[in-house]
Amino acid sequence: MFSGYKLMQHTADTGIIAQGADLSAAFAFSASGLFSLITDTSTLQQDKAVSLAFSSDSYENLLVKWLNELIYIFDTHQMVFGRFEVAVSPDFRLSATCFGQKITADTVLHHYVKAATYHLLKVKKISGGYKLQVVLDI
């Protein structure tokens, strides 16, 4: 089993497949995949931290809510993130600290991601961890 994320092509959109030893790691990798589409995360300062906490009624809904909240922060606060400390609990709660920076004139943006969608959405327990799949509207 690989641990991390990979991008998945889908018609006019793109997707992320994220795998981790547990749900928390897989959710963190999904966010890393999202921001890898937006910018080169290896060059970020990571001098700002944003904390988030919310719940949902399923892991699938929690994943969409998580990624869409990150897209909202990108849109409204002009922030990009490169590192994520995520805790996902069995009762569909997520708490996270996201580390990144405000967008500057030097920040190169690659793709504009509109939203995480429910199309082909999967949260699956696999041998050695969890696998997530989500399609992003770009």
pLDDT at 12: 72
Amino acid identity of 123? V
pLDDT at 54: 94
- CA separation (Å) from 97 to 60, 75, 85, 86, 133? 20, 18, 5, 7, 22
Mean pLDDT by 10 residues, the chain (138 residues): 77 90 98 96 93 97 98 97 97 98 93 94 96 95
Half-sphere exposure of 107 (CA within 13 A, CB side): 21
Structural tokens at position 117: 């969608």
pLDDT at 1: 55
Structural tokens at position 106: 């030097």
pLDDT at 69: 98
In 3-state terms, what secondary structure has residue 19? Answer: strand
pLDDT at 13: 84
pLDDT at 65: 98
The yes or no reply on domain 4-137 and CATH 3.40.50.10490 is: no
